[in-house]
Structure formats: structure tokens, C-alpha cells
Amino acid sequence: MQSIDDIEVTGRRVLVRSDLNVPLDKSGSGAITDDGRIRASLPVIKKLADRGARVIVMAHLGRPKGEDFAERAAGGPSLEVVAGRLSELLGQPVAFATDLVGPSAVATVAALADGDVALLENVRFEPAETSKDESERGQLARELVKLGDLYVGDGFGVVHRKQASVYDLPAALPHAAGDLITAEVSVLQRLTVDPARPYVVVLGGSKVSDKLGVIGNLLGLADRVLIGGGMVYTFLAALGHEVGTSLLEADHIDSCREILTQAAERGVELVLPTDIVVAPRFAADAPATVVAADAIPAGHMGLDIGPQSRELFAAKLADAKTVFWNGPMGVFEFPAFAAGTRAVAEALTKLDGLTVVGGGDSAAAVRSFGLAEADFGHISTGGGASLEYLEGKTLPGLTALGA
């Protein structure tokens, strides 16, 4: 991949595809609750602006619904709040276009001087952005081409998507990879090509179905796999244990059995929790009880790994030289059920080897606990993209950049 250091940008209009898909407060304020992805995107935007580029940032936010731009824009969410935060972090005004390829975008781009930065409205307000019809995506890409001279892909969190601003647009313009993407790929290569051992993978999150492919691939790479979060209950069911009202994907029980068998055959240590924090309902104030992992009572749901499991997981991480962690161990947003996720995060800060936090909720948890990001080897900005890379899939956005 060509890097942004290889291209001349002074005085040129540079379309930058960033990942600014930040979480917003759901109580009504619409405020940004975690600006980590904005901060991660900042270095490339600033580097280009400092080199005299006219920077035009494209990004998505949420999953807008509607048949056309107007309907989706009316329902939101708009990137305007992101433009405000980006301006604060950059220390300079960020012009905001209220559309993507319409009159506002054209006028906003035309008004840019060297070193200026603009943000276009949510790319997903245009249905063609995510269309499976190549001609529809191509038409949107051709409209975007009119706004820029160069393309920079720096949104690692979306490189696994075949979308107009990720896949089709770079095919129509001279292009380069931003520093965020090159750094992400470099780290992921270290996880897949001759990793330092012991190599431990920690997987959590809600659905085992989202992780089956990556688990299967990592059984050929990792020395240990630790499993927590909502996905663990399908594994416990596969062992014949009662899981109460815990999250369960019954149609994947056989797949979990197969994974347990494969791990044993390959000599990979697959570690499940020995105790679970349960509650009678999904609520922050629900009374928490610790039970054995094979004794979850009927009418209760598992919401975190228990204290014995926290110690077990920390011990299994203690000698690791390479760690990949994706997915919380419990409902970390509720203080009563955050201890498992915190234990894993804190264990990683004590290691000397490469520690990679695989984006998404894991990265959000690290920040919510107030842990120093510098204590981790790498905090990814792309949970889904990281998983698909580790699964061995071809990522369209990387292919488009020449990877």
C-alpha cells in the first residue's frame, strides 16, 4: 500500500475516509459519550492539513433508516456533533456540509483554502453507500470524485465493508493508506505471522455466532483461548450445563461442541469461566449473586464472569508474550457486572509482550475504566475488521488500497 508520505498533497483536495462512528448518549442529549475514534483519526487529518492539503473528511455514524437521503437525514444521526468535537481537538474550525454530494458539499469544498478541514454529512444518508448494486455504488463514487483530487483511506473500522466510500471511490482516484490503517495492518500481521509465544486470545461479547470463524482460525495459531461474555453461555450449554435465562444461541451449540473438540485435538488450551455473576433480570440495579458456572439457577441470567474466573483468566494471561482481546467479559456498562472486563484489562497492562485490544466495546471499556491507553501495545479502532482479518478473510477496503 502507498502511504500518505508518498504523495504530494499541498493545495490538493484530499478525500479522507475516516471512522468517526462514535457512540452517542441515548437519553436525548445526543452528546458523544466516547470520542476515541475521533482522537484516533486526528493524526492523519492534522498531518494532511499541516502539509497544506484541503482536507475533506467522509465518515458514517450509526445505521440511518429510510428510502432516500432526505428521509435518512430527518431521522439521523447527523455528523454535525462530530464536526464540533473534531474542531475542538484540531484547534481549528471544521466546516460542515449538510449533505454528501449536493449543493452544501460542493460549496463547502469550494471555499476551502490550503490547510482547511471540512466534514461531509453522514455517508450512510445516501442509500447507495451501502448498496449491494455495484452500479449504484459506482454512481455515488463518481459524484464524490468531483469533490476531490486524491483519496486517503484511514477508516480501519470499515475496511471489511464493500461500500462506495471505502471500496469504489479509491478505484477512481489516486489513493494512499493513512497511518492508522498501516499501523493496524502492521499489528495484525504480528498476530498472524510467527507471533511471540505464549499467544493468548481473549474473546467475549454477546454472540458466539460472530466469533465462530475467528475462533476456528485462531485454533491454528493460539496457545490458549479464554472465553467470556454472553457468548460463553452457548459453550456452557454445549457442555450440558443449565444456563437459565442467559443469552443463548441454541442453533450454535453443536458448533461450540466442535470447537471444544478441535481445541483438544490441536493441544490448544480453551479456558471457560468456573463461576458466573448472575442476576434475575437485565438491569444495573439487579441483585448480583455468584454461582458455579455449571449451576446457573433457572430464572437467572449470567452477566459477568465471577471472582474465581477473574483470577483464573489473569493467571492464564500472566506469562503471555502476545495477546489479542476482543469483547467484554460481562455487561461492563453496569458497575455491578464490570469486574470481569476490568480484570482482563488490568491484567493486560501488566504484560511485557504485545497486547492488542480489538476495538469496539473492548476499547470503550478500557477508556471507561480510566486506564492509560499507553499501557496497552495497541488499541484497535476496528473490532469487526480486526476479527475478519484474523479469520483470514479478504478485506475489500484494504484490497482497494493495494494491500
Residue pair 163/136 in contact by the 8 Å Cβ criterion: no
pLDDT at 383: 76
User: What is the reported pTM?
Assistant: 0.86
For the chain, residues with pLDDT lower than 50 are none
pLDDT at 282: 97
351 by DSSP, 3-state: which? Answer: coil
Residue pair 21/62 in contact by the 8 Å Cβ criterion: yes
Grid cell in block for residue 288:
448480583
pLDDT at 360: 75
Residue in 17, 37, 72, 316 annotated catalytic: 37
pLDDT at 122: 98
pLDDT at 76: 93
Q: Is residue 157 annotated as part of the catalytic site, yes or no?
A: no
Residue in 84, 102, 384, 393 annotated catalytic: 384
pLDDT at 210: 86
pLDDT at 82: 97
Q: Is residue 207 annotated as part of the catalytic site, yes or no?
A: yes
Residue pair 165/123 in contact by the 8 Å Cβ criterion: yes
**Residue 140 CB partners (closer than 8 Å, separation 6+):** 101, 126, 128, 129, 164, 165, 168
Q: Is residue 360 annotated as part of the catalytic site, yes or no?
A: yes
pLDDT at 130: 97
- State pLDDT tens for residues 9-45: 999 999 999 999 998 987 778 899 889 899 999 999 9
Q: Is residue 47 annotated as part of the catalytic site, yes or no?
A: no
The amino acid at residue 309 is S
- Owner of C-alpha cell 447507495: 128
